[in-house]
């Protein structure tokens, strides 16, 4: 998916800033039992999204949770759009013209509907519910995304993964994978599309350790998951009210848990089935610059990528089969990119 904002925010992301962070500090007079509870429960930072129109007079609106000032990265996950359920008869659905990417992988995951994907590798594929489409931009790729005529309700997430420095100029690639849902009796289902969880392993290649999984929870069900303590995690709630490590998250909110925990407990507080997406990864220590659809390491990287796109250089290739023009790149800001970092991690015992 493209970031089609006419004035995209420039973001410089990187390793945690110096400082002590917020931690789990106790107030004066806290009892022993309260202190023990706080030590056992990881702190959950609740991130709320902002609405972003995808463009056009009947624009489909997405809810963007990453990046934001409070947190720019979760592992190498650097961008999260959550959309729908969207009645395409009223909004026109998704129609994103050819646009470029550098230095990242795009992860497409649907709950309902269907999207036609074309890219400059020559890939022609469909994004369908429960099926992963992962595209590697690397040095440069272009693609389109259009909801199909048979789609009535479009609903899903679009995610980006930052590539580490040694792989940021890797060759273009496209992968499709259909994970088999793992049924947890009396609790719900887990579909692992990246990494490993609950005994399920995705074969899809990533360039840093990552986790991506859709988790459904039956009404009032509780699920405790063994997770990698070296990962930081984010739980995006699609619908329902889900308690993550003691903190209730509502629909469209994303709960962030710092590294250091080997289990996470999810509880569906709703009378209906809840659906979530769990993201995780080792903290991404490199500084990156993200603007529009490009990820680089400096303002100059971004300016060069924009110039290459605007001049129709061979760097991005050509997308065949789309009946329309390419998306033009927005104008660069008249300033160098401002630093913006994640807050310092809070350690957990």
Give the SS3 label for residue 299: helix
Point out the least confidently predicted range of 12-26, 39-53, 273-287: 12-26
Mind listing the pLDDT tens digit for each residue in 213-234? 999 999 999 999 999 999 999 9
Assign domain 44-310 to its CATH superfamily: Jelly Rolls (2.60.120.10)
Domain ranges of the chain: 44-310
Rounded to whole angstroms, how far apart are CA atoms 294 and 183?
38
* Per-residue pLDDT, 2: 59
Q: Which residue has the tokens 């065949």?
A: 320
Q: Give the pLDDT mean for 95-111.
A: 97
**From edge to edge, which strands make up the β-sheet containing 247-249?**
222-226, 263-268, 242-244, 247-249
Q: Give the pLDDT mean for 45-67.
A: 84
Token pair for 83: 């959309």
pLDDT band at 92 (very low <50, low <70, confident <90, very high): confident
Rounded to whole angstroms, how far apart are CA atoms 197 and 58?
39
**Is the confidence at residue 253, as pLDDT, over 60?**
yes
Mind listing the pLDDT tens digit for each residue in 304-346? 999 999 999 999 999 999 999 999 999 999 888 764 667 665 5
pLDDT band at 16 (very low <50, low <70, confident <90, very high): very low
Query: Which of 3-12, 54-63, 320-329 holds the top average pLDDT?
Result: 320-329
Higher per-residue pLDDT: 303 or 5: 303
Q: Give the pLDDT mean for 58-80.
A: 90
* Per-residue pLDDT, 344: 65
Mean pLDDT taken over the chain: 88
Mind listing the pLDDT tens digit for each residue in 143-155? 999 999 999 999 9
* Per-residue pLDDT, 4: 59
* Per-residue pLDDT, 12: 53
Rounded to whole angstroms, how far apart are CA atoms 265 and 191?
17
Measured CA to CA in angstroms, residue 170 lies from 60, 71, 135, 153 at distances of: 32, 27, 12, 35
pLDDT band at 60 (very low <50, low <70, confident <90, very high): confident
* Per-residue pLDDT, 336: 86
pTM score, two decimals?
Answer: 0.87
Peptide bond into 292 cis (omega under 30): no
**Is the confidence at residue 281, as pLDDT, over 50?**
yes
């Amino acid at each position: 998916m493209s970031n089609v904002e006419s004035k995209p925010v420039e973001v410089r992301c990187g390793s945690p800033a110096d400082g002590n962070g917020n931690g789990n500090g106790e107030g004066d007079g806290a009892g022993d039992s309260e202190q023990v509870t706080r030590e056992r429960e990881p702190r959950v930072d609740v991130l709320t999204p902002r609405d972003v129109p995808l463009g056009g007079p009947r624009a489909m609106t997405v809810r963007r949770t990453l990046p934001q000032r409070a947190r720019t990265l979760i592992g190498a996950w650097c961008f999260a759009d959550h959309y729908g359920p969207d009645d395409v008869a009223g909004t026109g659905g998704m129609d994103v013209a050819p646009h470029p990417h550098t230095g990242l992988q795009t992860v497409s995951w649907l709950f309902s509907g269907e999207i036609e994907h074309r890219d400059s590798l020559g890939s022609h594929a469909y994004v369908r519910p429960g099926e992963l489409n992962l595209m590697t931009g690397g040095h440069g790729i272009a693609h389109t995304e259009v909801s199909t005529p048979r789609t009535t309700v479009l609903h899903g997430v679009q995610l980006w993964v930052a590539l580490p420095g040694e792989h940021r100029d890797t060759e273009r690639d496209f992968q499709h994978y259909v994970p088999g849902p793992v049924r947890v009796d009396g609790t719900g289902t887990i579909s692992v599309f990246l990494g490993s969880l609950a005994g399920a392993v995705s074969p899809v290649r990533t360039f840093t350790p990552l986790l991506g999984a859709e988790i459904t929870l039956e009404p009032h069900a509780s699920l405790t998951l063994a997770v990698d303590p070296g990962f930081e995690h984010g739980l995006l709630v699609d619908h329902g009210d889900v308690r993550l490590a003691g903190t209730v998250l509502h629909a469209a909110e994303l709960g962030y848990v710092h590294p250091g925990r080997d289990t996470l407990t999810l509880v569906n507080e709703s009378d209906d089935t809840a659906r979530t997406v769990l993201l995780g990864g080792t903290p991404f220590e490199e500084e990156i610059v993200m603007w529009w659809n490009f990820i680089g390491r400096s303002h100059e990287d971004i300016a060069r990528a924009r110039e290459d796109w605007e001049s129709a250089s061979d760097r991005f290739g050509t997308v065949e089969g789309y009946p329309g023009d390419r998306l033009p790149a927005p104008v660069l800001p008249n300033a160098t990119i401002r630093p913006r970092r994640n807050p310092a991690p809070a350690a957990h015992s």
